[in-house]
Structure 1
Amino acid sequence: MENNRNFFITIALSVLILGVWQYFYVLPRAELQRKAEQVELERKAAEQKAAQPAQPGAAGADAGVPAQGAVPGIPGTAGASEASRDQALAKTQRLPIDTPSLTGSINLTGGRLDDLRLKDYRLTVDPNSPIIELLNPQALPNGYFAEIGFVGNAETGAVPGPDTVWTPEGNQTLTPSTPVTLSWTNDKGLTFKRTIGVDADYMFTVTDTVSNAGTVPVSLSSYGRVTRFDKPLHAAAYVLHEGLIGVTGEEGLQEIGYSKIEEEKQVSPGKSTDGWLGITDKYWAVTLVPSTKQPFQPRFAFFPDGRPRYQSDFLTDAISVAPGQSATVESMVFAGAKEVGKINAYEQDRQIRQFNLLIDWGWFYFITKPMFWLIDNLYKLLGNFGLAILATTVLVKAVFFPLANKSYASMANMKKVQPKMLEIREKYADDKMKQQQAMMELYKTEKINPIAGCWPVLIQIPVFFALYKVLYITIEMRHAPFFGWIQDLAAPDPTSLFNLFGLLPFDPSTVPVFGHFLMLGVWPIIMGITMFLQMRMNPTPPDPTQAMIFNWMPLIFTFMLASFPAGLVIYWAWNNTLSVIQQGVIMKRQGAKIELWDNLTALFKRKPTPAE
């Protein structure tokens, strides 16, 4: 029974660690996210009723902030001036954006991308809920935008910046097949022509051409920034990075959380000739990809003055333009969902260094990425991520069947020598050293590996953690339905035994502290039953303490896993079922008695009293 003890202690410790992390990090995060979604729904409803009057905002610049080159300040940072999105959009001239994936508009003031919504993603699983608003005008409390501009000098005169009003060439709509062209000319004879293109997904290409009609050569620098005035309402989880991010220079990947940048105010990596930088959320991101033809200085910053804001920006080395000549600078802006296939395609097709790191695969990416690849390809075949998870479990079982076969065979052999093991324990009850030596001799004689039974669970642990990570970080799993009441495999089972699965008008999750554990849905109960049956395939340990753990572990795990993503609970239940079948077949082949029924009936038999 030493084998069984090690087996289940390994499971217990692994899931306990994940359970503690789930309770103290993920659940508070999920609750705040739910509240944020509710606030957003209420805001949208209020906007539809009536727009509130605007309040004029004060102008300002990036005063008292970390210095870096001459990236211009942002006017009007004293406070949000609009409560309504429609009202804010109506304040400036705009060109519409319409692609298969995006809808929104380009702000002609600054040439900004500050109105962008994702057609394929909604706030909740309700198909009628609002679509995701990724970028928002600066005048809103949740202002968030991407901007490309120039930094000049006395020779160049004024150059396009945050307050420049560009002139469009005709009434245009930006689509994948119809780029738009903007222009602006200053008093020194410099003409700036900007062409903005977009693909069918989430990548914008901004091509700026500077023509010098003056009599003297000029030099100017290009800048880009992603600026955000708010941050996620929920705290970042340890398993996932959210905040400022980039891959530039020799430093490579830079991940800077909101708290860290608030403390340090700025982080300036070394100059770079390639890479990308921006701001990432769990499922969405906005990043800049500077031109590889000109070295640039990247920076990550937090500006506490006026309206606190977070910014990832770059400033290129100066570009010279001789009289009668022109120069072109091309930058790209990614703004959209972090879909794995599209992110990988951008990295390969557009030669963006390590763009795949925009998705936080974690330290164990060598397990997590293959796990996602397998599930995603099975999904394309089966049409349902839940079925893909079940199929993945079968394939993993098949791959490791030879090892599991040896493990279960060893466990069956141990069951055969159980009487000899009990005899040794009784004979050397007072001498643990001799007892251990006799046990080892018995294992050697019978050719038994006492730790063989641990291999199936040791294999299961990395698969379990990899699946957890995949469910948690990949947008493909967001709002992915299974069957019946499971409409989101990345969220816990919404049913609960404590309100009779919805028959009673009571929400167990509202109970303070323990509410999440009371969300004991159908699938966690199924998982608990399958775990109970799996454990009953083996005899109850003779040690009372081990026996108590043996009996209570399935119940504890049932409550603990109730708050985990439904996809993970379904995987565990299916894995337990396959393990029971597999172990039963192997034990029968080895001639060992399957004690499942005996162990179950023994639970309900009256225990004899000492007097009897």
Structure 2
Amino acid sequence: MDQKNVVLAVVLSIAILVGWNLYEQSQVKDLPPPQETAEGTATPAPASASNAQATTQPQVGGAATAVARDRKDVLVETPRVTIKAPKLSGSINLKGARVDDLTLSEYEVDLDHPDDKVVLLQPAGSQNPYFVNFNWWLDKGFTAPDNNTVWTADSDTLAPGKPVTLSWTNPQGVTFQQILGLDDDYMFSVKQRIVNNSGKPVQAAPYGLISRIGTPKVLGYYLLHEGMLGVFNDKLEEIKYKDLKDEPTAKNDTTGGWLGITDKYWLTALVPDQKSDVKTSFRATPRGDDFSYQADFLAPATTIAAGATQEMGSHFFAGAKKKSLLDQYAEEYQIPKFDLAIDFGYLYFLTKPIFYAIHWLHSFLGNFGLAIIVLTFGIKALLFPLANKSYRSMSKMKLLQPKMQEMKERYADDRQKLNQEMMQLYKKEKVNPLAGCLPIVFQIPIFFSLYKTLFVTIEMRHAPFFGWIHDLSAPDPLGVLTLFGTIDWSVPASLHILNIGIWPLIMGFTMWLQQRLNPSPADPVQAKVFMFMPIIFTFMLGRFPAGLVIYWATNNTLSIIQQWLIMKRMGVAIGGGKAEAS
């Protein structure tokens, strides 16, 4: 009975760890951003315009069931404006005025292929199209640009500080212009301008959309949102792909805000004028055997007098979800809660401080692994009073082990009497068996929050430690089934759980050492359960991110030192009872 609370705490921790993930899934490779959208999407006509043109979205071109072609072949089929920036490369398709070719120059798909960069946006006609488009709804009787409209550009290159103006004039004499700009990171500026030389007033409503064809392959972890998201009237809304299939339209009226599509590390987001009232929607449309997805906003329709010009400004983000960068944009453009594109979860009050602490320590140490180790020292210092009290109580129990063993032998056939005598002994010696659970209980949310931080933040992606650890967000790559890298063998997925790396073994060994310092359970069955705990946890944590395992091993080591010092000060032997005088 004296150890039941400890067993309960251990079982609880196991349940939570298993519940986070089928950790075998953490073996899934980091995928390039899902590319899906494109051909056909629909934005409703503005409610204020009773005679606004069309209520169905223009088709992008190409049937949903068309065979995808090579991306390079598709890109040379239409005139384009080149995008050149420090962190982005790609092009703008002048047919339809779509940003549909974008590569993230700083990020490789995986460490084994450093020249293979992450492709974020794809043109229609290629595999999994994914693009951004801005346009207008017009009165009936006026011709609006569509997916087949070929625009002219005043420059062949878009670069930071070098905007490009796209222009097209319809048969009625209305000129449409899109002035596109780009900063040194991932934010595009868009000015949608209409010059009305038609000789009569025209009613128009500007809109922007992100389109993605095909349901992307997602990791499927409950602690990570992938799909549609946005902030409307200061409130975050998240919709998974599967949920949007069931309810194919989700609409919001909002002042400002933002909306888009998120992957684990990448984001495309529309940011309308923050003072403008806009209608937004998320859509899922059946296309052959799959779906296309769209996020869009529609500004109010206004009347542009003959000879007048109207302009609306907005932005769109397409790139990596770096926390500092999202914070910078949120402040610069007054974008509400833009950092919520990163899924810090319900424990954000822990995950965010942990992220900031690791990031701050990294600025001094230059290594995220060292930052995690130093953070472990900091957390240990914060929990020191609680842990100290717990370890003192456990040391007292260790000191009482000879008496407890004697009781077990005396009352071997009377379990009820044994429990009564044990409780009296605890009361007499002022020992609290529950005290040993407290460090475990407090470590669980910290452990989870660190796991979440390592899992969702791009700053940890491909972050190296020392030696063989090249990615702290991935499992230890050297496993026992490959003799720690000496055998070139691709381990089958069914055996990943057995392919334990060096750091998980270190963690398991430190856990076993720490267990040796704890008092043994009075119940033989419980004692056997505890004996196997280090082995169980070694296999459980073996496929978790290496950074998390390094944290746990460091925490165990500090706990061993702290507990050993307390036992030495109290004169407690490792095996229980009083230590012999030296």
Calculate the TM-score normalised by the size of structure 2.
Answer: 0.91
Q: Residue 21 of structure 1: CA displacement?
A: 4.2
CA distance in 1, matches of 2:336, 2:508: 45
Matched, 1:139 2:136: no
The letter for the 2-side match of 1:336 is: G
Q: Looking at both structures, which has the greater relative contact order when contacts are Cα pairs under 8 Å and sequence separation is at least 6? A: 2
CA distance in 1, matches of 2:147, 2:335: 27
CA distance in 2, matches of 1:249, 1:163: 35
**Structure 1 residue matching 2:254: 3-state secondary structure:** coil
The letter for the 2-side match of 1:218 is: V
> Which residue of 2 is the match for residue 76 of structure 1?
61
> Which residue of 2 is the match for residue 380 of structure 1?
363
Q: Residue 197 of structure 1: CA displacement?
A: 0.9
Q: Residue 127 of structure 1: CA displacement?
A: 5.4
> Which residue of 1 is the match for residue 268 of structure 2?
286
Matched, 1:167 2:152: yes
CA distance in 1, matches of 2:26, 2:376: 28
CA distance in 2, matches of 1:229, 1:333: 19
Q: Residue 258 of structure 1: CA displacement?
A: 1.1
The verdict on how the C-alpha distance between 1:304 and 1:597 changes in structure 2, with shifts beyond 3 A counting, is farther
Matched, 1:27 2:24: yes
The verdict on how the C-alpha distance between 1:160 and 1:409 changes in structure 2, with shifts beyond 3 A counting, is same
CA distance in 2, matches of 1:531, 1:440: 28
The letter for the 2-side match of 1:138 is: A
> Which residue of 2 is the match for residue 238 of structure 1?
222
Contact 1:196 1:207 in 2 (8 A): yes
> Which residue of 1 is the match for residue 75 of structure 2?
89
> Which residue of 2 is the match for residue 457 of structure 1?
440
| 1:343-382 deviations in Å (ceiling 9; x for gaps) | 1211122111111111111111111111111111111111
Matched, 1:205 2:189: yes
The letter for the 2-side match of 1:276 is: W
> Which residue of 2 is the match for residue 550 of structure 1?
530
Contact 1:408 1:583 in 2 (8 A): yes
Stretch of structure 1 that moved more, 241-250 or 7-16: 7-16
The verdict on how the C-alpha distance between 1:546 and 1:60 changes in structure 2, with shifts beyond 3 A counting, is closer
Q: Residue 130 of structure 1: CA displacement?
A: 0.6
**Structure 1 residue matching 2:443: 3-state secondary structure:** helix
The verdict on how the C-alpha distance between 1:532 and 1:575 changes in structure 2, with shifts beyond 3 A counting, is same
The letter for the 1-side match of 2:334 is: Q
Contact 1:66 1:301 in 2 (8 A): no
CA distance in 1, matches of 2:6, 2:576: 17
CA distance in 1, matches of 2:219, 2:56: 30
- Alignment of structure 1 residues 93-242 onto 2, 5 Å: 93-126=79-112, 128-155=114-141, 157-169=142-154, 171-242=155-226
CA distance in 2, matches of 1:598, 1:502: 46
CA distance in 2, matches of 1:304, 1:378: 48
- Alignment of structure 1 residues 471-482 onto 2, 5 Å: 471-482=454-465
CA distance in 2, matches of 1:266, 1:68: 15
The verdict on how the C-alpha distance between 1:410 and 1:28 changes in structure 2, with shifts beyond 3 A counting, is closer
- Alignment of structure 1 residues 249-398 onto 2, 5 Å: 249=233, 252-269=235-252, 271-305=253-287, 308-398=291-381
The letter for the 1-side match of 2:373 is: L
| 1:66-117 deviations in Å (ceiling 9; x for gaps) | 9675363223241445521111111111111111111111111222110100
CA distance in 2, matches of 1:520, 1:60: 46
For structure 1, the residue ranges without an aligned partner over 5 or more in a row are 41-58, 600-612
**Structure 2 residue matching 1:268: 3-state secondary structure:** strand
The verdict on how the C-alpha distance between 1:305 and 1:68 changes in structure 2, with shifts beyond 3 A counting, is farther
| 1:545-599 deviations in Å (ceiling 9; x for gaps) | 1121121111121122111111111111111111101111122222322339999
CA distance in 1, matches of 2:578, 2:485: 36
Q: Residue 260 of structure 1: CA displacement?
A: 1.1
Q: Residue 151 of structure 1: CA displacement?
A: 0.5
Q: Residue 462 of structure 1: CA displacement?
A: 1.2
Q: Residue 418 of structure 1: CA displacement?
A: 3.3
> Which residue of 2 is the match for residue 466 of structure 1?
449
Q: Residue 468 of structure 1: CA displacement?
A: 0.7
CA distance in 1, matches of 2:115, 2:8: 45
> Which residue of 2 is the match for residue 530 of structure 1?
510
> Which residue of 2 is the match for residue 43 of structure 1?
none
Contact 2:401 2:577 in 1 (8 A): no
- Alignment of structure 1 residues 483-502 onto 2, 5 Å: 483-502=466-485
Q: Residue 20 of structure 1: CA displacement?
A: 5.2
The letter for the 1-side match of 2:210 is: V
Contact 1:283 1:474 in 2 (8 A): yes
The letter for the 1-side match of 2:546 is: A
> Which residue of 1 is the match for residue 51 of structure 2?
none
**Structure 2 residue matching 1:105: 3-state secondary structure:** strand
CA distance in 2, matches of 1:101, 1:546: 56
CA distance in 1, matches of 2:441, 2:479: 31
The verdict on how the C-alpha distance between 1:559 and 1:30 changes in structure 2, with shifts beyond 3 A counting, is closer
**Structure 2 residue matching 1:467: 3-state secondary structure:** helix
> Which residue of 1 is the match for residue 49 of structure 2?
none
- Alignment of structure 1 residues 584-595 onto 2, 5 Å: 584-595=564-575
CA distance in 1, matches of 2:445, 2:331: 29
CA distance in 2, matches of 1:6, 1:68: 63
Q: Residue 324 of structure 1: CA displacement?
A: 2.5
> Which residue of 2 is the match for residue 570 of structure 1?
550
Q: Residue 479 of structure 1: CA displacement?
A: 0.9
CA distance in 2, matches of 1:366, 1:345: 20
| 1:263-315 deviations in Å (ceiling 9; x for gaps) | 2221223x111111111100101110112343211111111145731111121
> Which residue of 1 is the match for residue 52 of structure 2?
none
CA distance in 1, matches of 2:319, 2:577: 55
State how many pairs are aligned.
566
CA distance in 2, matches of 1:591, 1:316: 76
For structure 2, the residue ranges without an aligned partner over 5 or more in a row are 47-54
The verdict on how the C-alpha distance between 1:596 and 1:198 changes in structure 2, with shifts beyond 3 A counting, is farther
CA distance in 2, matches of 1:312, 1:411: 57
CA distance in 2, matches of 1:535, 1:501: 27
The verdict on how the C-alpha distance between 1:587 and 1:165 changes in structure 2, with shifts beyond 3 A counting, is same
Stretch of structure 1 that moved more, 555-564 or 439-448: 439-448
Contact 1:184 1:193 in 2 (8 A): yes
